[in-house]
Amino acid sequence: MKRLIPISLFATFAALPMAAFAAADSYRWLHVTIDTPWMIFLFLLPMVLIPAVLMAVLYWKFAGRPAVELEKKKVKSKTPAAPVADKNESTD
């Protein structure tokens, strides 16, 4: 079984034409053309717009709620803990 995997991988790679892999090593992919700045812009555009759109949606969702309602939710989630006496403090 251990020998079957390397043999099958070797047979698969031997059957594939090596001309198909030549394009990946070509320098034509590294040349800068007039379209390169646009490609960079289109690549970076979602990285800027997605957080801005998310921020706008979240602001719109919470903008109509009164502050009192938001404070009630904060108070419900935080339960006050009982004060614990420190070792150095006296309980007199």
Report the distance separating Cα 36 and Cα 30, nearest Å: 10
**Across 16-35, average pLDDT:** 67
The helices-and-strands tally (H runs, E runs) of the chain is 4, 0
Q: What are the tokens at 21?
A: 């892999």
- Of the candidates 1, 22, 4, which has an alpha carbon nearest to the alpha carbon of residue 12? 4
* Burial of residue 64, with CB atoms counted within 10 A of its CB: 0-12 exposed, 13-18 middle, 19 or more buried: exposed
| pTM: predicted TM-score of the whole model, two decimal places | 0.39
Band of the pLDDT at 90, cuts 50, 70, 90? low
Report the distance separating Cα 37 and Cα 32, nearest Å: 9
Summarised one tens digit per residue, pLDDT across range 42-68 is 999 999 999 999 999 999 988 877 777
